[in-house]
Chain A
Amino acid sequence: MEIDPFIFRLSIFILSIFIGYYVVWSVTPSLHTPLMSVTNAISSVIIVGAIIAALAGSSENVFSTSSIFGFIAIILAAVNIFGGFLVTQRMLQMYKKKKGKK
């Protein structure tokens, strides 16, 4: 009997939860705010779904109801991707050691 591909995806999902569990526990508490902003940025990888939906139209019919939802989702996710990574970067730049001070 063949294994349903869904089971493979489920395996990836569950293993990733475990990876997430151990990786996040090792994050130093002082970086919990950047952790939230970066997780926020990476969860915007949902943009791949938005792109697929938006590209589904043909040249004659770029905007169907479905692709319009895709386009709006692209904007939302793009705000998050750029905003999330840049604000994380900005925060991380501020964390400095004693030696580095003027």
Chain B
Amino acid sequence: MISANLSAIFYLISGILFILALRGLSSPDTSRQGNYFGIAGMIIAIVVTFLSVGNFSTSLVYVIIFLMIGGAIGAFIAFKIPMTAMPELVAGFHSLVGLAAVFVAIAAYLNPEAFNLGGIGSIKLASLIEMSIGAAVGAITFSGSIIAFLKLRGLMSGSPITFSGQHFLNLILGIAIFVLIFYLCKTQSDNIFWTLIAISFLVGVLLIIPIGGADMPVVISMLNSYSGWAAAGIGFTLENTALIITGALVGSSGAILSYIMCKAMNRSFVSVILGGFGAVNSLDDTKEKKDQKPVKSGNAEDAAFLMKNASSVIIVPGYGMAVAQAQHALREMVDKLKKNDIKVTYAIHPVAGRMPGHMNVLLAEANVPYDEVFELEDINNDFANSDVAFVIGANDVTNPVAKTDPKSPIFGMPVLDVEKCKSVLFVKRSLSPGYAGIDNELFYKDNTLMLFADAKKMTEDIVKNLD
């Protein structure tokens, strides 16, 4: 058994190691080292907890067994999961943190003596507030992440689910949470505690169902942030520095990512959360336009010809590439192009895919060196000097309407200036509008050649034609 002061110092050390873990991610070179710092911090925190409780009875055996079971499941998932499934994996993991926070809060509520929080029915006021906030945020994180997981996994429709009075209902439930916390502090009644948790679960569900598929990068980041605040809430209850530091880090990290994602879509955080985007656009209108405007379409042979004669090609990947698992075929194509001395770079829009950095991971998986991959602001000027833009699975993020038509719902969103390239190859299954429900003007430009096919199949065909 070690003293409370000593263990507090160790918790501080593990908190610092977690900061270094995030710090390492500032460049891919230092990132692996950062991850080891994180692991070290976690080991220190766990070992110190064992020592500070100092209970080496049968309980400890069970703790270790359960730790192993969970660890084995986690390790299994980590090795088996395909990189394309990363968004739903992260959503799933968030739900576990949320639920763990809820369970720790319940355990503390039922047995406050173990945590030095006072006795049953006479828990310290501050602790009670902290643990009920932790439990409520944890419950929202859990059920919200489950919905996000189901949507990302395709087990639930990705389109927004809205009903009248939705926002009003959310508001009422939100107020109810605060009222319940207030009465819980006054009465310490078990029923209020359980009702609080149940309502928080419900809020999590209601919060995420109206948000559509392509807004998922914001949702995942937001839930990431919530899981942090839940951990911090519990950290205050347990008076644990490691948890408080970590909760604050994770909370602000998720909040920053949400902000970056919202900015990349030129939408306010509030409008994303209120949801329903892309559900009620006038589809008839776009259909009419489609019939009128001519579209040039080509095949793999044409595409291969164009690229062979180019001296520089920029690849613009999007969610469609992930769905079709086309990243390896794409890499093969790029290798062939490079053999012909063609300069190839990749342009990634911040909201391409379903989570922040989604495309980067997929390209990394396909062995694309990270110094060939560029972010929007770093590469956008290069389109004008390039011969071919190869758009694979992206749509709204290339739509020039965002720059020209103030009436368009995506007006003002930063987009890739793909149309400035000498020619644009656009791989897409059909002319259907993208997530925002608006037509992409790019389809009808003179320098655009549409390649109607599955992204993977088309890329493979182009590879054959490059020989």
Contacts and interface: CB of A to CB of B under 8 A. Distances in A.
A24 B372 CA distance: 23
Interface residues of B, number: 117
Nearest to A86: B78
B259 to A, nearest CB: 10
B220 interface: yes
B96 interface: yes
Contacts of A12: 241, 244-245
Given A95-B370, A101-B367, A64 B50 contact: no
Contacts of B23: 23, 26
A20 B22 contact: yes
B62 A34 contact: no
B466 interface: no
Interface stretch (B65-73, B208-216, B386-394, B403-411): B65-73
Interface residues of A, number: 85
Interface in A60-102: 62, 64-67, 69-98, 100-101
Nearest to A54: B63
Given A19-B249, A20-B252, A66 B35 contact: no
Contacts of A74: 63, 66-67, 70
A28 B79 contact: no
B234 A46 contact: yes
A30 B38 contact: no
Interface string B40-60: 011001100110010101111
B256 A49 contact: no
B347 interface: no
Contact of B97 (A26, A27, A46): A46
Interface in B300-327: none
A47 B100 contact: yes
A96 B369 contact: yes
B28 interface: yes
Contacts of B372: 98
A52 B53 contact: yes
Contacts of A44: 42, 96-97, 100
A45 B45 CA distance: 7
B391 to A, nearest CB: 19
B243 interface: yes
A15 to B, nearest CB: 8
Nearest to A90: B78
Nearest to A10: B236
A66 B110 CA distance: 6
A91 B49 CA distance: 30
Contacts of B450: none
B231 A55 contact: no
B97 to A, nearest CB: 5
Contacts of A16: 15, 19, 244-245, 247-249
A49 B104 CA distance: 6
A92 B283 CA distance: 42
Contacts of A33: 86, 90, 355-358, 360-361
Contacts of A46: 97, 100-101, 104, 230-231, 234-235, 243
A61 to B, nearest CB: 9
Given A26-B23, A35-B357, A69 B59 contact: no
A21 B107 contact: no
Given A28-B27, A76-B96, 10 more contacts: A34-B357, A35-B253, A36-B254, A39-B22, A48-B242, A49-B240, A50-B100, A83-B89, A91-B83, A91-B364
26 contacts: A13-B235, A13-B244, A20-B249, A26-B26, A29-B357, A31-B360, A36-B224, A38-B35, A38-B38, A39-B22, A40-B90, A43-B227, A48-B11, A49-B243, A51-B50, A52-B114, A54-B63, A58-B59, A59-B58, A64-B111, A69-B107, A76-B96, A78-B66, A87-B86, A91-B361, A94-B367
Interface of B: 11, 14-15, 18-19, 21-23, 25-28, 31-32, 34-35, 38-39, 41-42, 45-46, 49-50, 53, 55, 57-60, 62-63, 66-75, 77-79, 81, 83, 86, 89-90, 93-94, 96-97, 99-101, 103-104, 106-108, 110-111, 113-115, 126, 220-221, 224, 227-228, 230-232, 234-254, 256-257, 260, 348, 350, 355-358, 360-361, 364-365, 367, 369-373, 375
Which 5 A-B pairs rank lowest in CB-CB distance, beginning with the nearest? A78-B70, A32-B357, A83-B74, A82-B74, A16-B248
